[in-house]
């Protein structure tokens, strides 16, 4: 680990994180350490994200329509309720 690299933060399902300026709800943690998140309460999307050594970032090309996946319904509900309710 170089001096700029920070350890990957510990996250769990239903945690809120911010990717760029986008508030997200963590859904799943993959064996690789990458995570799946939902974001955009107006049109819920799910994306994979990775730790780049400094911050979480979206993995390109992995976006989906979160409302279409029953396995994500509880996370979409949390997203729509908002972070500071």
Q: Is 1's pLDDT higher than 60?
A: no
Mean local confidence (pLDDT), 47-70: 92
- pLDDT given at position 61: 82
Element counts in the chain: helices (H) and strands (E): 1, 6
Q: Check pLDDT > 70 for residue 62.
A: no
Residue 76 reports pLDDT greater than 60 = yes
* Contact (CB, 8 A) for 56 and 17: yes
Structure pTM? 0.90
pLDDT at position 2 is 57
């Amino acid at each position: 680990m170089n001096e700029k690299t920070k350890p990957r933060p510990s996250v769990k399902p239903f945690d809120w994180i911010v990717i760029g300026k986008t508030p997200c709800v963590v859904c799943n943690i993959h064996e690789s350490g990458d995570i799946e998140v939902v974001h955009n309460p107006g049109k819920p999307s799910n994306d994979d994200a990775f730790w780049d050594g400094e911050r979480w970032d979206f993995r390109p090309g992995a976006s989906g329509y979160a409302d279409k996946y029953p396995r994500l319904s509880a996370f979409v509900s949390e997203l729509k309720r908002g972070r500071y309710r």
